[in-house]
Chains A and B, each alone.
Chain A
Amino acid sequence: MEVFKMAWRNLWRSRRRSLTTIVAMTFALLVMLLLSGLIEGMLRTLEQDIVELEVGDIQIFADDYRKKPSIHTRILDPESVLVPLDAAGFSASARLLAFGLAASDESSAGASFRGVDVERDARVSRVHREVGEGSWLDENDPKGVVIGKGLARSLSVGLSDEILVLSQAADDTMAYELYRVRGILHSVGGAVDRSGIFMTQPSFRELMVLPEGAHQIIVRRPQGADLLVAHEQVASLASPLEVKTWKMIFPTLSSYLASARSMMSILYLIIYSAVGILLLNSMLMAVFERIQEFGVLKAIGVGPFGVMGLVLMETAIQTGISVACATLLSLPILFFLSTTGINIAALASVEIMGASFNPIWRALFTPGIFVVPILLLVVIVVLAVLYPALKAAWIQPVAAMEHH
C-alpha cells in the first residue's frame, strides 16, 4: 500500500491533535535551534575574544615568572624559541611586562606596561584593531603609547595628552619618562582597561633598561590544530620554559565554558522530554483509537512491519513538517542574530572572570548548529513512537477487531 498516502490522510483525521503535535515539535525545535545558535555563538565569541585579544592560545614564560612576576625573570633568548615556532607554522610574539605608576597633570594610577613587537604582535593579537580613539603603536613614534579606556578616564587624559610613567628599572634605578597618548583602546578586559599601557619594545627596553630577553611569548596555533597537540608541540620546542594553554591560565573560565555546554545538554533533555511525552501521548491515542482498523489491516494481509511502518510514517511526516517549519522560521531569526546580534552592554557586564568579551551577542549561524538539535529531536521521536508502533504491529487481529 502507499504508506505515505495512508499515513498522510490518517494524520488529518484528527486535525487538531496532529496540528498540536506539529506545533509543539516546531516550537521546541525552534527554541533549541535559537538557543543552540546563541549559546554556541556566545561561547565561541568568548573563547575567540580571550584568545585573540590578549592571551593567545598558548603562552611561554620563564620558569617561576607566573608564580612571582619580576622584571628580572626573563626568557633570556626569545629568538631561540620564536624561530623554531615560526618554522613549525605557529605565530608567536614576545612581550615585555612590568608594573609601575602612570600620572597625568590631574591624577595618577597603577599601570602595567606591555612592550610589544608591533609587527609580530599583530599576528597573535587583535588588540591593534581595538583602538577606539587615535591609532595603534608605531615603531617610528617611540614616545607614543596606547592606553586602556579605564586608565584614560582615571588619568583624565585624551589623545595627544602627556603621561608620566614611573617604575623600577631592571638595573634597580628609577625608570621614568614622559609619553604621549597616541591611542585609547576599546574595552578589551578589566586589567587592560584599568591599567594597560602598550608601548613599542625599543621604548620599553630604553625605559626599563632591559637590553635583551622577554617575559612572555604569546603563541597562536595554526588554524584547525588541536590545542592540546599544539601545546605538546610548543612545549617540546620551548623546553625547558614553562608553556601553558589559555585553559591552564584561566581554568575557571575554561570550566565555565564547558559547564555552559553541559547546561545546553540539560536544556535539550528537559525540552525534548516534554516533546517526547507529548508525542507518545498523541501517538498512543492515535493507535488506540484505530485498534480495530489495525486489526482489519492485519486480517487482510498487512504484516506487522507494514502496520509498524504506517505508524512510523505518520510520525515521520509530523516530524518532517516540524523540522521544515522550525528550520525555515529559524533562518531569518538566526541570520539577524548572527549579523546584527543583541547588544547586552546595557543588560549585563561584558566581563567574565576578568576576561572581557564583545558586548554584541551574536549567534553562530552554521549548518552545524542545526545538526544536533534536529538529530536529537529525531532520536526522541523514534524513542517516543516505538511503543505505540510496536503495539500496533504485534496486535492480534481478532482481539483488535473485537476492541471497542
Chain B
Amino acid sequence: MHARNPTPCVETLNITKIYSQGSHEVRALDDLSLSIHPGEFTAICGPSGSGKTTLLNLMGALDKPTSGRVLIDGQELGELGRRELSRIRRDRIGFVFQAYNLIPVLTAFENAEMVLRLQGTDPHKRREQVLQILSDVGLEGLGDRRPDQLSGGQQQRVAIARAIASNPAVVLADEPTANVDSENADRLLEIMEKLNRDRGETFIFSTHDPRVLERARRIIRIVDGRVDDDRTVS
C-alpha cells in the first residue's frame, strides 16, 4: 500500500443533487462531502437508490451537482466547459461500467488503446503500453477479438484495461462485478487489487458485492444521499 498523499485526487464539497421526477423532486445526494486520496482502494456501498451511482457520476464529470463543488486533482469541475470536461474525463478519470460498455466495432486492443489515441500518444509507445496492460489484466493473445467474441469477464477486463491505459488520477468502477460470475468477479478484483498495489492506481467502487467490500481498504456507506459511515479497514 502506498503512503497517503496529502492532496486528494477526488474531493466533493457539500454536494447536493436533486432530480426532478414529474412534479416532485428527488434528493439523490444531500450535502455530501468526502475526499479520496491517491492510491486508495475505496468501496462506496449502500442500499439501492442511496445515491452511489449519482456520486460516481459527479466524481467522473459525467454530471453536475445541483449545489456544491467537485474537484479532481484540485481542479474544480464546475468552472469547466464541455470541452475541458471531456479532456478531464479523457486524461484524469478511468471508468469501468457494470455493463462493460465497450465499443462493439473495436477489438479489445483498440478499445484499450482508444484513450491513448485520443491523447495523441506516439503509436509505438501506445502499442507497447496497451500490450503490457492487456497482459496485466490477463488478456494476452486476445487483443484482436471484438467484444462479442469475449466472455463477460473478459469484456470487463478490457474495460479495466481501457480505464487504466492513460494512467488516470482515479478509476471509477460502478458495480464492476455485478454482471459476472463469482469466479470472474474474484479474478477481476484480484486484477484491480494488483493494479492498485503495483501501479498505485486509485479505485473507487460503487457496489453491493460483499467480495468487493472484503477487499476494500476504505468503505464509505451512503444512506439517503448522506455519508452514514466512513471507515478504513486495516
Contact = CB atoms under 8 A, between A and B. Distances in A.
Chains A and B bind each other: yes
Interface of A is mostly: helix
Nearest to A298: B86
B105 A300 contact: no
Size class of the B contact interface (CB-based, 8 Å) = 20 to 34
Interface in B49-100: 57, 60, 62-63, 82-83, 86-87, 89-91, 95, 97
Contacts of B83: 303-304
Given A299-B62, A300-B89, A304-B82, A6 B105 contact: yes
A301 B105 CA distance: 18
A368 to B, nearest CB: 40
Interface residues of A, number: 22
A10 B87 contact: no
Nearest to A307: B86
Given A2-B117, A401-B97, A300 B162 contact: yes
B86 A303 contact: yes
Contacts of A297: 103
Given A300-B95, A301-B91, A292 B101 contact: yes
B86 A304 contact: yes
B99 to A, nearest CB: 8
Interface of B: 57, 60, 62-63, 82-83, 86-87, 89-91, 95, 97, 101, 103-106, 114-115, 117-118, 162
B84 to A, nearest CB: 10
A398 B63 contact: yes
Interface in A4-27: 6, 9-10, 13
Interface centre among B60, B87, B95 (most CB of A within 10 A): B95
A142 interface: no
A303 B60 contact: no
A398 B57 contact: yes
Which 8 pairs, one residue from A and one from B, show the smallest C-beta to C-beta distance? A301-B90, A9-B105, A303-B86, A296-B101, A301-B89, A397-B62, A398-B63, A398-B62
A291 to B, nearest CB: 12
A398 B101 CA distance: 13
20 contacts: A2-B117, A9-B105, A10-B105, A13-B104, A13-B105, A292-B101, A296-B97, A296-B101, A296-B103, A297-B103, A299-B60, A299-B101, A300-B89, A300-B114, A300-B118, A301-B87, A301-B91, A304-B83, A397-B63, A401-B97
Contact of A293 (B86, B95, B104): B104
Nearest to A399: B63
Contacts of A1: 114, 117-118
B195 to A, nearest CB: 18
A45 B180 CA distance: 74
A300 B86 CA distance: 8
A301 B106 CA distance: 16
Nearest to B87: A301
A70 B87 CA distance: 87
Contacts of B105: 6, 9-10, 13
A10 B117 CA distance: 19
Contacts of A13: 104-105
Contacts, number: 61
Interface of A: 1-2, 6, 9-10, 13, 292-293, 296-304, 306, 396-398, 401
Contacts of B162: 300
A396 B63 CA distance: 8
Contacts of A298: 86, 89
A166 to B, nearest CB: 88
A6 B103 contact: yes
A4 to B, nearest CB: 12
B89 A299 contact: yes
Nearest to A10: B105
A122 B87 CA distance: 75
Contacts of B62: 299, 397-398, 401
A313 to B, nearest CB: 13
A183 B121 CA distance: 83
Contact of A301 (B97, B103, B115): B115
A231 to B, nearest CB: 59
B74 to A, nearest CB: 19
Contacts of A398: 57, 62-63
A6 B111 CA distance: 11
Contacts of B86: 298, 301-304
B118 A6 contact: no
B104 A301 contact: no
A302 B87 CA distance: 8
Contacts of A304: 82-83, 86
A304 B90 CA distance: 13
B118 A302 contact: yes
A9 B104 CA distance: 9
Contacts of A9: 105-106
A397 B162 CA distance: 17
A6 B106 contact: yes
Contacts of B87: 301, 303
A398 B54 CA distance: 9
Contact of A300 (B63, B90, B104): B90
A350 B57 CA distance: 75
Interface centre among A9, A292, A296 (most CB of B within 10 A): A296
Given A293-B103, A303-B83, 15 more contacts: A1-B118, A2-B117, A13-B104, A296-B101, A297-B103, A298-B89, A299-B101, A300-B90, A300-B95, A300-B162, A301-B115, A301-B118, A303-B82, A401-B62, A401-B97
